[in-house]
Amino acid sequence: MKTKILYVFVLMLSTFLAACNGSGNQFDPKVEQEKATKVINGVLTSFKDEEKLGEGKTRDEANQIVWEKLRKKNTKAISNDLNGEGQRRLLYLLTTNKAEDLSNGGTKSNLLFSRDTKDKNVSVNESDKTFTFDIERSGIDHKLITLEKQDNTWKIVKVEDPK
């Protein structure tokens, strides 16, 4: 009986010390990179290839429609802190514009989702605990997408041009 009590006490003490030591809050880059990669890949494949996401008289008008669809579908993956320029850059990577001329002389902008966007490289900033993905579209254009953990979920916080 004493042995069982002692065993339970040692087990509880070791659990308590591990919790106090912060071992549960350690940043394991390999594990976290896998989670962040899953999030970024989810955004890159969130719609069907060539699926029409938005239509407007101008690309800007279509962009607003498409951004709302993209944000709604990927609400867990996109930070509310992502600024307007970052949103435009992300849309640029994920869509293609297939404009068509109208009989009245105007144009109509049709934005289609593109699965031609791939993760080219990933880097980790262990001090900031962020991952930056170099995302390439059509083998030519690329942007850097940074994810950070917010509310225990990896979220896109910045999309920028490479320097």
Average pLDDT of the segment spanning 61-67: 95
Is the model's pLDDT at 19 over the cut of 80? no
Is the model's pLDDT at 21 over the cut of 60? no
- The per-residue pLDDT for range 87-128, each reduced to its tens digit, is 999 999 999 999 888 888 778 999 999 999 998 899 999 989
CB 17 within 8 A of CB 106: no
What are 73's two structure tokens?
């579908």
Give the separation between CA 29 and CA 136, rounded to whole angstroms. Answer: 23
Q: How far apart are the first and last CA of the chain?
A: 67
pTM: 0.80
Across 43-47, 107-111, 115-119, 138-142, least confident range: 138-142
Across 37-41, 111-115, 127-131, 137-141, least confident range: 137-141
Identify the residue with better confidence: 4 or 157. 157
User: How is the chain split into domains, by residue range?
Assistant: 2-160
Average pLDDT of the segment spanning 131-141: 90
